[in-house]
Structure 1
């Protein structure tokens, strides 16, 4: 069974706690459970979350070697707008990358409209809440 990697960046471990009006009331654990239940029997799901840019970069470098990985779904959070290191790490991957944002970053503050990774991604899913993760996993299943 192939593997889908779900990467979440800074502050996403505070889903259900931080800015509920924007990000919803489901916790990070609820998100993981929902994705795992949806993918059951189709994929192995591996989750990674960090508030530290370097840890995310290192993790991406490590999964590059994993031949079971069929794709990556990533919500880099605020690193979307600022991390050249994250962009460089993602550029080494040879599997599809699906970018997910719970909110529509194009309709938010001007600094959130800068996106350093979208051109590396096979698909971007924004503004669909946590359902965007499910859509990303489904897209990878259809593509592979």
Structure 2
């Protein structure tokens, strides 16, 4: 069972900077993740919040709720949230960081991720496909029960 978390401003997909993020919406992304999960024989739960504290709570509770891995797009929190970094580091589940755009080809402040170091991997610049690749990785990492 995989948890897909999207951080601040990702609820604006399809409206916010379509030249960077494309024209598809968060609902499109969530439907796609659920479909990919079905192909991988994984249950997928998608959640989005513009509030750091809510993301922290979901990470803290993930294992207790039966999740086996987390895909996270922290949005701008990637670059400065030590609280998010500590929440990821402080729980046992594998986590993959995903970014729709190529953050390393954008503004200088986006080049640094404080969360990537405590994740199993980071995928950037592959659009929605990055979520699928993260889900495939997590599925392979977790023994089937």
TM-score by length of 2: 0.93
Structure 1 unmatched ranges of 5 or more: none
Q: Deviations over 1:98-130 (max 9, x none)?
A: 000011111111111121011111111100001
Any gaps of 5 or more consecutive residues in structure 2? none
Q: CA offsets per residue over residues 49-83 of structure 1, 9 Å max, x none? A: 100111111121121323x3111000000000011
- Following the alignment from structure 1 to structure 2, what is the Cα–Cα distance between the partners of residues 38 and 105? 24
Distance 1:118 1:56 in 2: 16
What is the aligned partner in structure 1 of residue 35 from structure 2?
37
What's the offset of the Cα at 1:47?
1.1
Other structure's SS at 2:68 match: strand
User: Hey, what's the Cα distance between the residues in 1 that align with 2:140 and 2:60?
Assistant: 25
How many residues align? The count is 141
SS at match of 2:54: helix
Runs of 4+ in 1 over 3 A off after TM superposition: none
1:90 to 85, 88, 91: 88
Structure 2: how far apart are the matches of 1:59 and 1:141? 20
CA distance in 2, matches of 1:122, 1:23: 24
TM score, norm. by length of structure 1: 0.94
CA RMSD of aligned residues (A): 1.1
Correspondence for 1:138 among 136, 139, 143: 136
